[in-house]
Structure 1
Amino acid sequence: MTDLASTRPPGLPQPRRYDGVNWVGVKTLYLREVRRFWKVGAQTVAAPVVTTLLYMLVFVVALQGARPPLHGTPFAEFVAPGLIMMAVLNNAFANASSSLIQAKIMGTSTDFLTPPLSPLELTIGFALGAATRGVVVGLVTAVCVMPFARLGVANLAAVVWFSLTASLLMGMLGVFAGLWAEKFDQLAAVQNFLIMPMTFLSGTFYLVDSLPEPFATISHFNPIFYMIDGFRYGFIGQAEGNIWIGVAMSALLTLAMAYACWLVFRSGWRLKS
């Protein structure tokens, strides 16, 4: 069979061939996602930090002395890692979901569908872009809460592992939400009625084991509980749940979401129809 590329006139540019992964395309998509949120840093970075500081003001400063230590940890040091992880989760989700729904509504999906990017490369680009926003917001938030909570690092590996897996997982969940939603109201419903309750009811401000049954048991089936608990463990050295269950669950969920994202990009669901 004749190679179509070899029959093109010599004066015309030949199609570019990629062996393996198109790293140039992945890098371009990743930088696009990063620059997209960095251009409006006041909204995407500063605003979440201010929200976290308001939580610290209400729950720590205003109630100073009214809340006893939890597991021997001062309340400020207990709450701060949970608030940082909440910022990571919410912003990783928001980055991917808002990017895709804006592309669908504005008709700019061809910007990443036309280039020679495979479903795997699209998954990598969007996931890394979302994770970058989540981690950046988490780092800035951690610096800003230092005056309110004396955070030390008891296990750096736990801090890095749970922050990265949580941001990647929520970024890929944001891909699903952005593809599923047809208008911003639907996307806001996912964040307000699914993401926000799961983060608030995951032991951010309290010990899950102190809840009455069956709520204490139900909370242990919330994957965000293990992410916040593992992340907090990295700072204070204590965990409510089994830290290894959290490691395994976060790894399996991240891999499962990556495979699911690959499937939806491969099928063109809500993008090519």
Structure 2
Amino acid sequence: MSVTTADTPAQSRQAFPAAGVRRFGAVNWLGMWTLYTKEVRRFTKIKTQTVVAPMITTLLYLAVFALSVGSLRPAVHGVPFIVFLAPGLIMMTMIQNAFANTSSALLISKVQGNVVDYLMPPLSPGELNVGIASAGVSRGLIVGTATAVAMIPFVGIGVAHLWAIVFFALGASLMLSLLGIIAGIWSEKFDHLQAVTNFVLLPLTFLSGTFYSVDQLPAFAHAITHWNPIFYLIDGFRYGFTGHADGSVMIGVATTVAVNAGLWLVSDRLFRKGYRLKS
């Protein structure tokens, strides 16, 4: 006859870990992947709005500049003006869409009252950062790639330094994804988010050499531009296509890494404190 005995305390502790001990190990890979795919599906379901529309808008920018001033503008450092302009436009649409993806995800969840969907799962602040920011990076890269492919029949852009294209595309998408997370957490209504877009993101983008070479600026404006991190993103990305940079590419690499690290720490801190998320 078999005798069933009760679990010993040691067996119970093995079956039911103490509070705060995560059953899935140090990193919740499945949770991060689930969050990432959820955020990616959120924008791919409406790809006409989130991918096709930005691509068409950027092509319209290119067409307007090509038809209005393209033939009148001299070459920039030996590069035809339209070829010089194209990488800046691609980078501009990448960073705008990376920012829009993360900021809108968090703000819409707060406005609709379902931000708890981010807070309830067993995900650490770092894992939330990775999942949400990675989706923003994916949208930026998808839109940027689609725009670049659409430009090829109209602009003879080549590849001078592939590593620079890849590094600055990833770095820019991550930077604006993290900034979007911070803006989305800080904003309590759409007016707040629009203020960040209109008074921070757009001026930094438009005054960073997207449409011109900063070497043409007066001395004081030239110096100020070099304090704009987006300048280094556009300049480094353009260097990857044309082989020419208005600033130091290595300083651009260091600035991109430093700014991303700082933004990561800020967004991680906001998630840990639950700032404007738990109240």
Superposition TM-score tier, normalisation by shorter sequence? over 0.9
**Counterparts of 1:156-171 in structure 2 under 5 Å?**
156-171=162-177
**CA deviation after TM superposition for structure 1 residue 60, in Å:** 1.4
Percent of pairs with identical residues: 52
**Counterparts of 1:1-273 in structure 2 under 5 Å?**
6=13, 17-273=23-279
Q: Write the distance in 1 (CA, Å) between the matches of 2:15 and 2:243.
A: 64
**CA deviation after TM superposition for structure 1 residue 79, in Å:** 0.2
Q: Give the match's secondary structure for 1:214.
A: helix
Structure 2: gaps of 5 or more residues = 1-8
**Structure of larger gyration radius:** 2
Q: Write the distance in 1 (CA, Å) between the matches of 2:66 and 2:26.
A: 52
RMSD after superposition: 1.8
Q: Is the 8 A contact 1:169 1:253 kept in 2?
A: yes
TM-score scaled by structure 2?
A: 0.92
Q: One-letter code of the match for 1:136?
A: I
Q: One-letter code of the match for 1:212?
A: P
Q: Write the distance in 2 (CA, Å) between the matches of 1:163 and 1:100.
A: 23
TM-score scaled by structure 1?
A: 0.94
**CA deviation after TM superposition for structure 1 residue 126, in Å:** 0.8
Deviations 1:81-106 (A, max 9, x none): 00000011000000000000000011
Q: Write the distance in 1 (CA, Å) between the matches of 2:274 and 2:23.
A: 22
Q: Give the match's secondary structure for 1:28.
A: helix
Q: Who is 1:12 aligned against?
A: none
Q: Write the distance in 2 (CA, Å) between the matches of 1:183 and 1:137.
A: 26
Question: What is the number of residues matched between the two proteins?
Answer: 267
Q: Write the distance in 2 (CA, Å) between the matches of 1:199 and 1:92.
A: 13
Q: Give the match's secondary structure for 1:62.
A: helix
Q: Give the match's secondary structure for 2:222.
A: helix
Q: Write the distance in 1 (CA, Å) between the matches of 2:13 and 2:249.
A: 57
